[in-house]
Each structure stands twice: as structure tokens, then as C-alpha cells.
Homo-oligomer: A and B are copies of this chain.
Amino acid sequence: MKILINPDTKTWNKELARPVHKMKEIEKIVKPIMKKVKRQGDKALKKFALEYDHVEIDSLLVEDAERNAAGAKLRTELKDAIQTARYNIEKFHKLQEMPAISSEIMQGVTCMRRSVAIQKVGLYIPGGTAPLFSTVLMLGIPAKLAGCQEIVLCTPPDPQGAVHPAILYTASLIGITKIVKAGGAQAIAAMCYGTASVPQVDKIFGPGNQYVTAAKQLATRQGVAIDMPAGPSEVLVYADDTAIPDFVAADLLSQAEHGVDSQVVLVCPSEKFVKKVLAAVEEQLKELPRQKIAKKALENSVAIVMEKMTDALDLINAYAPEHLILAVKEEERAVQGIVNAGSVFIGNYTPEAAGDYASGTNHTLPTNGYARSYSGVSLDSFVKKITYQKITAEGIRSLGPAIEVMAQHENLEAHKRAVTVRLDYLVNRK
């Protein structure tokens, strides 16, 4: 981890550059996969399962019996924990409901807006080293709350052709029943084009490796929306002497273990504190099972000494971290000064891991600086807001002339006439 002392604004971009992937090369691999799924449907999914997941799949859909048997395979403490998380996530996402708006803007002119569920959504849950049942909660709960009519979940099968019981249990718990044994770019392609087993969806959500990310990007060119552009995960910890070095080190490591391309950034007002944290990182690192990954990620990472809070906040806003931990004395000042971040964790007893799993906030967040313009996944991500208007004869009489004048000055005569024809009719009718 390199250490920078009060770096000049001009150097920030370079010093805080994130690890990037070369998408072009990956697209070359992903495009033929997508094409094959488009043409051959289920047959291609089975072929790719054999090729990439090394298993022969008879039925792509998880059967009810398999789903119902999942709970019995899990320890009670895990099921209890999942239920706690579910309760909290549901509670916080329910608060995000935006009531319908209706207002008579002027006499006879009523404008309305209401949230309508995106009808068909696809959730991608990666397999690989860990069964990400937490992501099932983070995507499935708001999808259900929004009232999406069709929810399909794709996840790769294990070498026995099964889906991890924790994923099946969690999906069942929240009422998701259509689970497809398909992973990687081929799963995204299936949800993009539709196959006999997999419905074509309007929007695709979920994390994944570079192939999944590339496939999601390609899906957007087919008219399918995606949750957000994805990049490696990252955390920035802003800490001062009121923070506890062991906690800070643990938070940095919990991000670093995600992947070799994760980035962790420490910002604090004194070099002395940086050194304490780095010593704690060295110590804790020794005992981590994913030590190798974390070590590699730390190489992409940087500790920055920023004496003044104003400068520190500027730097944080310029970086726009996905996760931001604030463990500083002037907590409220820091919170108010942050304008670019995905999710903010305040105080010594608020590890990022809380938001990753169980506190209630969503863990699907904008990476790679996208926190400047994107929100994390929320209930909003599963609805669109449709506007409505209704104008009475009286309303068009009073608003109509303004529309006519504006349309005329934009040289859109037919727009003007759509009003004129109505006003004339009302005059003649009298």
C-alpha cells in the first residue's frame, strides 16, 4: 500500500486510478456465446453448462422438490441470520416507496405520476467460490416489493448439477420460484433473448465476473436495461485518531478479500495513524484464508494523509467511493460534506460488512466513480415512474394558447394545430 502525504489535487486522478479491465478482449469471447444462446436457446445453455460448469443438466429449471428440500440442509443459525437480514432489508426498502403524485397544476389541468413495476426482471447470482445468498436478498426483496410480475433467477450449477441450498432457501423465503441453472455470459444471454426455459426480461440485475459484466453491457444494445455499469468493488475509509486501528484494518481487509482487483483507500490526518493501521493490516492478514487475494488487492491500494478535513472531503468526493466509512470525530461535518458516495458507514461500530449483509441498506452499489451520478440498487431500480395528464375542456381553453405560441416558435405547426383543432371545436360547439 503506497502512502501519500497531502497530495496535490492535480495528482488525484492518477494516484487514485482504479484497476481497469480491457473490455474489448472479453467482448470477443462473450459475443459468440450470446449469439449461440440466441439461436439455440436451452440447447446452448446445456452445452455451456457442460463446457464451463462441467456438468450435464437435464432440466434447466430447479424443481419444486429440490427447492423445498433446501432448508433442511442448512444450519438453523444460518436460516435465522438470513431471516434477520430479510426483515431489515424489507423494512428499509419498504420505506423507499414513493406514493403516487396527483396535482391540479392549473384549473382543468391535472398531472399525475405513479410507480409501476418493471414487469419482467432477471437476477443473476454468481456461483464460484461462494454462494451469494445475500445478493438474492438484495435483489429479490425490492423486486418483490415493487410487484414485478415475472422474476427469474439464474445461477450456475455446481459440479453435481445442483444449486447451493442457501441460495434455494433464500429465494424460496422471499417467494422466488423460477430458478435457472445457468451461469456466466450464457445466463445473461438467456435473459436477454429468452429461451424455452428462461423468459426474456426487461431488466437484468446482479454482480458477476468480467464475462457477465460484458454480457450485461451487450444486452443493453438489445433494448434490455441493466442495474448499473459494474466494476471492481472498493472502499474508502476516512479515519482520525478517534478511530480504532484494528477496526479500520479489518474493514480494509474485508474489502480487499473480494478480489485481486478490489481497491481500498485510507484517508486520515496523520501519518502516525496510517502506520498503526498498516501494522494492524499486516497482523490480521496472516490469519486470513483469502490472504493471497487480499495481498494482491492491497497492491492497488493507497493510504493518503490529508491534514485538513476540507481537503479530505474534496478528495473523497473526487474519488466517489462505492463504500465510504467515516470514523472521525467531526462525524456530522463529514456526512454533510460528502456529495459523491454509494453508501456511507458512520462511526466505529459500523463495519461495511453490516451493509453487505443485514442492516437493511442495499449492497449493490455504484463502483468505479459512478457514485457521482448513479444510486445503488433500491426499490426505484425495479419500477419506472409513468406520468399521466388529464385536461378538461376548460383546462385546454386556458392552457391552450400558451401551447400554441410555444409550438409556433419552435416551428412545429402540427403541434400547434393539435390544440387549435380542439379550441375551434369548443367555440363551434357553443
A residues lining the B interface (CB < 8 Å): 77-78, 80-82, 84-85, 88, 91-92, 95-96, 98, 101, 103, 105-106, 109, 111, 113, 116-119, 129-134, 166, 202-203, 220, 223-225, 229, 244, 246-247, 250-251, 253-254, 256-258, 284, 288-290, 294, 317, 335, 338-362, 366, 368-376, 378, 380, 384-393, 395-396, 399, 401-403, 405-407, 409-419, 421-422, 425
Contact = CB atoms under 8 A, between A and B. Distances in A.
A387 B361 contact: yes
B369 A402 contact: no
Contact of A254 (B77, B345, B412): B412
Contacts of A414: 250, 253-254, 256-257, 284, 288, 290, 294
Given A202-B373, A399-B84, A415-B257, A77 B358 contact: no
Contact of A354 (B91, B374, B396): B396
A12 to B, nearest CB: 14
A343 B374 CA distance: 23
Contacts of A253: 414, 417-418
A247 to B, nearest CB: 6
A82 B406 contact: yes
Nearest to A258: B412
Given A386-B375, A391-B347, A403 B225 contact: no
A78 B409 contact: yes
A373 B223 CA distance: 9
Nearest to A378: B385
**A interface secondary structure, majority:** mixed
Nearest to A398: B84
A118 B370 CA distance: 11
A361 to B, nearest CB: 4
Contacts of A294: 414
A345 to B, nearest CB: 6
Contacts of A290: 411-414
B344 A386 contact: yes
Contacts of A392: 347, 349
Given A253-B414, A399-B84, A350 B425 contact: no
Given A344-B386, A374-B384, 11 more contacts: A82-B406, A88-B111, A91-B103, A92-B111, A116-B340, A133-B406, A251-B418, A346-B389, A349-B395, A354-B419, A357-B406
Nearest to A371: B384
A67 to B, nearest CB: 18
Contact of A421 (B250, B357, B369, B421): B250
Contacts of A361: 111, 113, 387-389
A318 to B, nearest CB: 10
A254 to B, nearest CB: 4
A403 B339 CA distance: 28
A203 to B, nearest CB: 4
Contacts of A421: 246-247, 250, 284
Given A254-B417, A290-B413, A98 B98 contact: yes
A403 B373 contact: no
A289 B390 contact: no
Contacts of A374: 225, 384
B393 A349 contact: yes
A375 B289 CA distance: 44
B223 A368 contact: yes
Nearest to A131: B410
A417 B284 contact: yes
Contact of A353 (B103, B376, B378, B403): B403
A257 B366 CA distance: 40
A365 B134 CA distance: 34
A410 B372 CA distance: 30
A96 B112 CA distance: 10
A360 to B, nearest CB: 4
